[in-house]
A and B are shown apart, each in its own frame.
Chain A
Amino acid sequence: MLSRVADSLYWMSRYMERADGILRMLKINYASSQDDIQEFSWKPVLRIFTYLDEEGATKLAHNTRAVLQYMVTDRENNNSVLNIITRARENARSVQDHITKELWQCLNDFYHTIRDEKMNRDLQKDDPISILDVLIKQGLIYFGTMDVTMARGEGYAFINIGKYLERGVQSADILDVKFSDRNYDFSKTDTPYWKYLLLSISGYELYLKTYRSGFDAPNVVEQTVLNEDFPRSILHSVDRMQRYFERLKSERNQEAFRKIEFMIGRIRSKVRYSTVESIMAHGLHTYLLGIKEDLYEVGNGLNQHYFAYT
């Protein structure tokens, strides 16, 4: 496979995962904003997903419609869903001969949907949940089409490596920012706060089944970092990333493979053999930061050894 093609597939996939994460985040936070008007602030969301400085974030923090507009359809916001989808589509466009026609059409439809002026208008006056649901569904069609139509070759491996790398980073980010918002105070029991955090990463039901008894910050950390069965946990993401990377093993390029295999293996061990207690002892922020840096390191490694073409 051409290096450029692998690069584009990888980024298409990262952008689609990012868009999905942002949309889910927005939906649940919007719901949360309707639940407790006094306390709710968009600041943590703006800090994870935008490049706004403190001042800019403070200005927007309590204006729900403005936040939605800024994060979904604003052309000036480099990380708006619109711009992310545009980039995903640009990447897909340059590798149309490596993805199925169905997948391309689905991305292309997503692009046209979000660029429609109507989207922007509706976001200002209609029920935001309905609109976000339309977009989330477009994303689900993408994930489904990927699963049903794409050949399980090298390209598919790069797509999944990108997807799970992005997801791992995102889960680490969400945890970190949400806890920093609470000054890493683990003793505070703050039911709606953790409930909405879990909802935003589709982990609420699982949490109830696993822990039953009320909301407890260490349990939230445990599920989001260490639960193998939770599809958005860091451990699950790293596991998958490792699994798809193994598929790239070939006679050629052995040295590069070994280097990156080593990096991923190390992250996996680090997460696999952590406990909530050890994470707390280490300091949650430092721990998450370390994981993110390791994941970025893998990204750089891929860039250097698999994608370099210029």
Chain B
Amino acid sequence: MQTSDLLNSYSIDPGTWDEMYSGLDVRGQYRGVVDFMQQMSIEELNKKEELAKRLFMSQGITFTVYSSGEGIEKIFPFDIIPRIITAAEWTYIEEGIRQRLKALNLFLKDVYSNQFILNDGIVPVETVYSCPHYLREMHGFHVPHDLYVHIAGIDLIRDHDGTFYILEDNLRTPSGVSYMLENREITKRIFPDLLPGNNVRSVTEYPNILHRNLVSLSPRQTANPTVVVLTPGIYNSAYFEHTTLARLMGVELVEGRDLVIDNHRVFMKTTTGLQQVDVIYRRVDDEFLDPLVFNPDSMLGVAGIMSAYRKGNVAIVNAIGNGVADDKAIYTYVPAMIRYYLNEEPILKNVPTYQLGNADEREYVFTSMQKMVIKKTNESGGYGMLMGSSASDEEISRYKMEILKDPRQYIAQPIINLSSAPCYMNGRLKPRRIDLRPYALCGPDDIQIVPGGLTRVALREGSLVVNSSQGGGSKDTWVLAEHSEAARSAIV
């Protein structure tokens, strides 16, 4: 089979925005990739796919599944066809995310200090106080530069008309950025010359920006502050990412057991004695961070780290207690926050969201369950979710019972028909649903969003769930530079 057949046999799901095709025409941004693929045979494409798999495996870009006492290495499925974002789309996304993060950061500062937004009734007090991630321990404590969110992964989706919506704000320990970086490296290997030919913007600055931001947070005035990445350890599924970030920034990767607190200062145990730590980029969740304050059974954290933090002797990134701002029930109020704190209209839209804690909204949702997706407010990774469209009546009524036990725990959203992008599967091109997670880095002076991100793919046909824990894969994500499009349209 020739690749031209490959393209001809591609058919878009009705009522769906496809990233590559508009009707029967290839969108401008995909022209270069389509031309390139047309020069290749199926055999060659299969070889490329094989090479990609081998590269992931041999570089150990894997996660380990433990079964019957033995570790089995798995790779996150990678689709070889890139997802492409135009310069104009990117500018819009970038502005929208910047605005949103500004507001969310102000919200965190407010909610842990004066609580103006609660007193003014913009966000209901009970929604905040009932959030399990709202931590009293953070109240009245000033974080350096009033910065709570240093690293954010904002999930975006597109509806049938191509409109972007914010699906989720991940403000705690968003993961996946190593896949943004590694997917790009793989593309360089499997499609030589394709990237420069298409004017794709580079993502390699990410670790440098992150490192610069982390250094700037050091509480000690020293030329060379000690920055570390704190990992739960090699059994964590994101361990590869932790070591990648440490390696790319040239900083130490530590585990809880490498650290010790003395006189409210954090030290790491080295071969030549203790060395003070100034900044911790932690990939350990709040509740495991300090067994003296949070979960007492935690073996992953460091006893006393919270006191060192509150004394201002160590910077912790992201700040503790951020979960109150990316809670799915709080999500509803983010547009209101933007208006309240910034006096601006939100650039990026929220998906309409019903609070099941609210009796009227719950009643409405219960009458139209088939059109809804129900999510638990404090779960992520696609767990505890119900897709009304594909659930049986029995499942729905069982789920309703669950909801009624603790309605605050649930929200409902109309099912958004995610946009699709072509995926290369068994020698054929198939449309699969995708989302987008760009990574934003907020420093004391600016918010930078590296042009790219992680595009997650729901690999099962018709599935709208892209989470890797639910059988999702990923794509390299290209953001095109401005002039390339101008040049291209000039030629056309």
Shortest CB-to-CB span from B105 to chain A, Å, is 30
Complexed CA–CA distance, A101 and B59 (Å): 8
Q: Cβ of B270: which chain A residues have Cβ within 8 Å of it?
A: 1-3
Complexed CA–CA distance, A215 and B70 (Å): 47
Sample 11 A-B pairs with CB under 8 A, ordered by A number: A2-B252, A2-B269, A3-B258, A4-B258, A5-B252, A96-B247, A105-B58, A105-B60, A108-B59, A253-B272, A306-B271
Q: Is the interface of B mostly helix, strand, loop or mixed?
A: mixed
Closest to A93 in B: B234
Residues of A within 8 A of B (CB): 1-6, 75, 90, 93-94, 96-97, 101, 104-105, 108-109, 112, 154, 158, 248, 250, 252-253, 306-310
Contact assessment for B271 and A248 in the assembled complex, using a CB-CB cutoff below 8 Å? yes
Contact assessment for B60 and A3 in the assembled complex, using a CB-CB cutoff below 8 Å? no
Closest to A158 in B: B271
Complexed CA–CA distance, A309 and B274 (Å): 10
Complexed CA–CA distance, A306 and B73 (Å): 32
Kindly count the residue-residue contacts between A and B in the assembled complex, taking CB atoms under 8 Å apart: 68
Q: Cβ of A4: which chain B residues have Cβ within 8 Å of it?
A: 255, 257-258, 269
Known interface pairs A105-B58, A108-B60, A112-B58. Does A3 touch B247 (Cβ–Cβ under 8 Å)?
no
Give 10 nearest A-B pairs by CB, closest first: A252-B272, A96-B243, A97-B247, A97-B246, A108-B60, A253-B272, A309-B269, A306-B271, A3-B269, A6-B271
Point out which of A2, A3, A248 has the most chain B C-beta atoms below 10 A from its C-beta.
A2
Q: Which of B256-310 contact A (CB under 8 A)?
A: 257-258, 268-273
Residue B441 CB within 8 A of the other chain: no
Residue B253 CB within 8 A of the other chain: yes
Residue B40 CB within 8 A of the other chain: no
Q: Cβ of A6: which chain B residues have Cβ within 8 Å of it?
A: 271
Q: Interface size on B (CB < 8 Å)?
A: 25
Closest to A155 in B: B271
Known interface pairs A90-B234, A93-B60, A105-B59. Does A250 touch B272 (Cβ–Cβ under 8 Å)?
yes
Closest to A104 in B: B60
Point out which of A4, A101, A109, A154 has the most chain B C-beta atoms below 10 A from its C-beta.
A4
Known interface pairs A3-B269, A252-B273. Does A97 touch B258 (Cβ–Cβ under 8 Å)?
no
Contact assessment for B234 and A94 in the assembled complex, using a CB-CB cutoff below 8 Å? yes
Complexed CA–CA distance, A75 and B68 (Å): 12
Closest to B231 in A: A94
Closest to B250 in A: A97
Q: Cβ of A2: which chain B residues have Cβ within 8 Å of it?
A: 252, 254, 258, 268-271
Q: Cβ of B73: which chain A residues have Cβ within 8 Å of it?
A: 112
Q: Cβ of A93: which chain B residues have Cβ within 8 Å of it?
A: 60, 234, 239, 243
Contact assessment for A112 and B57 in the assembled complex, using a CB-CB cutoff below 8 Å? yes
Closest to B268 in A: A2
Contact assessment for A97 and B243 in the assembled complex, using a CB-CB cutoff below 8 Å? yes
Known interface pairs A3-B258, A4-B255, A90-B234. Does A154 touch B271 (Cβ–Cβ under 8 Å)?
yes
Shortest CB-to-CB span from B260 to chain A, Å, is 9
Complexed CA–CA distance, A158 and B57 (Å): 28
Closest to A307 in B: B271
Closest to A154 in B: B271
Q: Cβ of A75: which chain B residues have Cβ within 8 Å of it?
A: 70
